[in-house]
Amino acid sequence: MSGGSSFYWAMRLLPAGQRAAMFALYGYCRRLDDIADGNDPIDVRRAKLAVMRGAVAALFETGVALDPTLAALKPAIDRFALPRAELDALIDGMEMDVNGPLTAPTMPELRLYCRRVAGSVGMLAVRIFGRPDADALAVVLGEALQLTNILRDVAEDAGIGRLYLPAEALHAAGMQFHTPRAVLTHPALPAACAMVAEMAEENFRAAEAQLARLGRRGLLPARVMMATYRRQLARLVLHGWRHPETPPRLGRFTRLWIALTVAATG
């Protein structure tokens, strides 16, 4: 994992046991992501995800880990009572990518996708942080982070036939077609992306409200992720998606500075 990633610096701030659990969770996520985004035929990727789903079931029913990433994750599952439903939900999200690919989903479809691929990770993470009362934060922050990723990677996704911008935003911007490459080169792309950026910002504001309600205890990594991705979103908005193939990105030292600044606030 790169030291320039938002996840890396946020997790480095955790005590050793929680940090190990989060890196094991990251390994599980990467395993599923590599399957979904791999070069295998669709049927093979579906089968591999089905095998992973079976391995999760076996782990919870028998205690036997049939996959190395689940073997690494098992101590965290046992210690923090990580729910099987959220591990399965992440597989559900990867299946949406494999069975799709998603192209201009409806808003409910996009929110379901975000809940599965990002909200599920958040739901698992807050338990590792010792804050199982923070489910609402996990869901809204997960959606904010995922929408920011979508806005950053719109050109990269188009290159593999995916378009996560919702149909409602495309239509509101005056685009009536959903071909990824056509949307990418349309002059109304910045307007559509700006609408999704406002969705992301609404979720960041909701996450702020949840943090105010919950208090900061145990949630430093979530706060670091929120600050980092919010800065990324602000840069994207300033950039304006005029050249989506070269999105602005936060450098390693910027991410480190954000992490240290948030940590200093307690």
Model pLDDT for residues 31-56, shown as the tens digit of each residue: 999 999 998 999 999 999 999 999 99
pLDDT score, position 10: 76
Q: What are the Cα distances from residue 226, in Å, to 168, 172, 222, 246?
A: 26, 28, 6, 23
- For residues 56 and 45, the answer to whether their CB atoms sit within 8 Å is no
pLDDT score, position 6: 62
The one-character DSSP state at 239 is H
pLDDT score, position 260: 85
Spans of the chain, pLDDT less than 50: 1-4
Paired tokens of 65: 């880990």
Rounded CA separation 59/70 (Å): 8
Chosen CATH of 6-264 out of 1.10.600.10, 3.40.50.720, 3.40.50.300, 3.90.1580.10: 1.10.600.10
